[in-house]
Structure 1
Amino acid sequence: VCVPPESVQPPPGSHLPHLSSRVMANLDDGTQIGLAMSRSIGDPEADRLGVIPDPTVEVMDVGALVQEAAEALKVESEDEVELLAVSASDGLFDHVTPETVALEMARSLYEKEGAPRPLLAAERLIMLSSRFWIEPQQVAYRDDISLAVTKVNKGGKVKA
C-alpha cells in the first residue's frame, strides 16, 4: 500500500518535520513496516504503488558548457576548462549544495597538488551530509546517500 505524502503531514503550524510518502507492507502478525520513498528507478512494480520508476534525465551540450565556463572563468583557452558529471541522491543534496559537491570533486579529479583523491573527497562529502542528517534530530537516522562522479570528455579529445 502506498501512503501519499499529503496524508502523512503534520498539522499546519506543527513543529514536526515534513514527511515523505511511504510504501507500507502489512505483515501476517498485524504489524506494518514502511519505506519512505518517492522514486525507485526502473522498478515497474513500485509504479503501481505510486512510486515513480522513471529517472530525471537532463541532456546538456558539452561544447556550450565549456564555452560558458571559459567565459565565466575568464580563461584564455577552452582547453583550460575541465568538466565533470555528478549524479547524487537527495540524501546528499538535501544538506550539501551542488556547488560544494562540484568544487570538492573537481579538486580531487583535476588538481595535482594538495587535493584529496576522489574516493576520499566523496567520503568527506557523504560524512558532511550525514552530520546534517543526524545532529538536528539527535537520532542515528540519515537518508540513503549515493554519489557518482566522472570526468567528461570535451569532444573526443584524448589527453595524454
Structure 2
Amino acid sequence: MEDERVKNVAKWVLNYTRGENEVPHTRSYEIYSKLLFRIAAADGELAPSEREWIIGQRAALGASDELLEMLETYEPSDDDWGALLEFQRSFIESVKHFLIYDAFQAASADSELHEDERKAISQLGKELGIEESTIEKIAQLHRDEEEIKKRRIALLAPHKINKRTPSVTEEEF
C-alpha cells in the first residue's frame, strides 16, 4: 500500500510539474541526481540546503529508498560528465531542459547561484546541445518562479515571512 501511495504521489507531481506520468527507473534517477550534485557543488561546496533540495525533489518524484539513502552521503566527484551522460543518454536527452531547470533550482537552494555553478550549468547545457539563449530563458523562468513563490507566501501566509528579510527561506516554514 505504501509503495502504491508513493507511486501515486510521484505520478501526480510529475504530471503537475512536467506533464509526465511515468516514474523513471532508479538508474536514470541516479545519473540525473549525480549531475545535479555536480552542478550544485561547482562552487567548491555542496551546501546542506542543496543536498536537501536534491534529495527532497528526488523523493517527491518517486526515487527509491535505496537511491535516497545513497544520496544522503554521496559526494560529487570528478566523474566525467560525458561518461555520466552516456549511462542514460536517451533518458537525459528526453529531459535535458528539465535537467537544466532543476540544476538552477538545486544550485540556488542555498539562496545563491554562484558564478561557477552558473558556468557549470552552461557547460552541461552545451554538452546536451542546448543553446545559451535557451539556458538563459530557463534561468529567467527559475527567477520568475522564485519571485512568484515569495509573493504567494506573502499573500497567503504572511505570518511565515521573516519581517527583517524580504526573501523567504525553507527554514522559515
Question: TM-score scaled to structure 2, two decimals?
Answer: 0.27
Q: Is the radius of gyration larger for structure 1 or structure 2?
A: 1
More helix by share: 2
- Larger RCO (CA under 8 A, 6+ residues apart): 2
More strand by share: 1
Question: TM-score scaled to structure 1, two decimals?
Answer: 0.28
